[in-house]
Amino acid sequence: MARNPGDRIFGIETEFGTLVADETLGSSENAVELIKDYIFYELKLGAIDIHARDDVFEPSHSGGFLMNGARLYVDAVGSHLEYATAECKDLKDVVANDRAGQRQIVRSLHELGLNDAIKIYNNSVDHFGGHTFGCHENYLIRADDDLLNNSMYLFYPFLVTRQIFSGVGRVGGHILTTGRVTPSYEDMMANPVDYIWVSNVYGVIPDDSVDFQLSQRADHIIKTIASRVRFNRALINPKWETMYSHNGMTRLHLLFGESNQNEFAYALKVGTTSLVLRMLEDGRVPERLAISHPLLALREVSRDPSYKWPVDRQAGGPISAINLQREYLNLAMAYKGESEQTDWVLREWDAILDGLEKDPLALGDRIDWVAKRSIVDDYRREEGLTWQDDALHSVDLEYHNIDPAESLFYAYQDMGLTRRILDDVDITMAMTDPPTNTRANARAKLVEKVIQSKSRFYAFDWNGVATDRHTYVELSDPFDPNLPA
């Protein structure tokens, strides 16, 4: 389908943390099964998979596609609830679709009467257990060997420094223990899928030398790129499959990212990343932006309490993360005037960098890590606590509670302290309505058809749907919102 210059498909996958307060409910695995089953069998918001998508990781009835174009499922690795947004090409759509999934989960908990017993968090780290949860970004990019194999190092400088406006913040830090750590027999028997194809296991201990940092994930990233990601987490995980692949394009799967609560930060993160990927495709990013040690820079920027954020370049000496981001921004100005969305990204990118240069801690309306730091710091002072007090981890966690009635972030937003890009009605509509300008729209119609027909045979995937034993509808073009004639 014809598209305008700069159009790109993107989507976000979020792995949710679960806390079960009622012992009668059993484990968190039982809790997420209750939520998933209620959404598909009681609310009938989607068509649950009746066939295994993957015998190990996504067996039958572990989840399915929803009427809003997204996918909700229980991932067998860690048995956590995961929500993948619909394919989107508008920033407002991807944020609304993401928030809609959270509201579906919250609705389920309230209607089940379990909102006091089960808490769901849109965060990316377990402070005490040492686990980290993914918020993975997906972008349709040109399937070009030179781009994927030889140019990604020019993407790393942007990716490791965008946390200055996209980081969600965290109290404390983690150290990954060196050497081979062997899981116990009990652990492997209790969670066998977690250890399939794992060649290395690391341990995690608290790092009390860190009071507060920008990123929840920075301490856990140990590779720039890797295909096996369990205990081998990387910035980028190559994906070669049909989720977004079409007409010489493929999916770029980013592992380093975090679950933004702030709508503005979420949209700016996706918008700026999309523009930088376009510059890479167009060959606009010069060698002078390459940095010496991307993973070292990732952690140093996250942990820098001075907020000066120096980064070492391969040539040309050190540069601040703000100025490095501004280099990418200046290059992206070549696309100014192309669309309203592009102009919004360029304008707000410029404004946020100006604000970070003047006073980072004045940007709590647009940046999660600033808002969280303010909330945690106020609590710390009121209670007379040190940064090493465990109570601060609980405050950190409650910032990410997805229930607006309980979340510290939503309390902050309700006081008018955040800059929003959505209205609540946008989120409500997105609970059942897909984006209208991508193939998610066509697939959603087929989901609704299957639900209404009570079909006993169907199979859904991102790029095609079998509605019965004799009918297969191909949805190969992610930009095409229409069902084939």
- For residue range 230-276, what is the model confidence (pLDDT) as tens digits? 555 778 876 655 555 567 888 999 988 899 999 999 999 999 999 99
Rounded Cα gap, residues 68 and 447, in angstroms: 9
> What per-residue confidence (pLDDT) applies to 26?
84
Model confidence at 184, pLDDT cuts 50, 70, 90, reads low
Rounded Cα gap, residues 164 and 371, in angstroms: 13
Residue with tokens 């006993």: 456
> What per-residue confidence (pLDDT) applies to 323?
98
Pick from 247, 239, 238, 281: nearest CA to 439:
247
Mean pLDDT of 476-484: 95
Whether 456 has a pLDDT exceeding 90, the answer reads: no
Point out the catalytic residue in the list 7, 37, 55, 75.
75
Model confidence at 117, pLDDT cuts 50, 70, 90, reads very high
> What per-residue confidence (pLDDT) applies to 230?
52
Rounded Cα gap, residues 66 and 443, in angstroms: 9
- Residue 484 has phi, psi (to 5 degrees) of -60, 145
Whether 138 has a pLDDT exceeding 50, the answer reads: yes
Please confirm, yes or no, whether 75 is among the known catalytic residues. Answer: yes
> What per-residue confidence (pLDDT) applies to 222?
82
Mean pLDDT of 41-66: 90
Pairing of β 234-238 and β 223-225:
parallel
> What per-residue confidence (pLDDT) applies to 198?
45
Whether 229 has a pLDDT exceeding 70, the answer reads: no
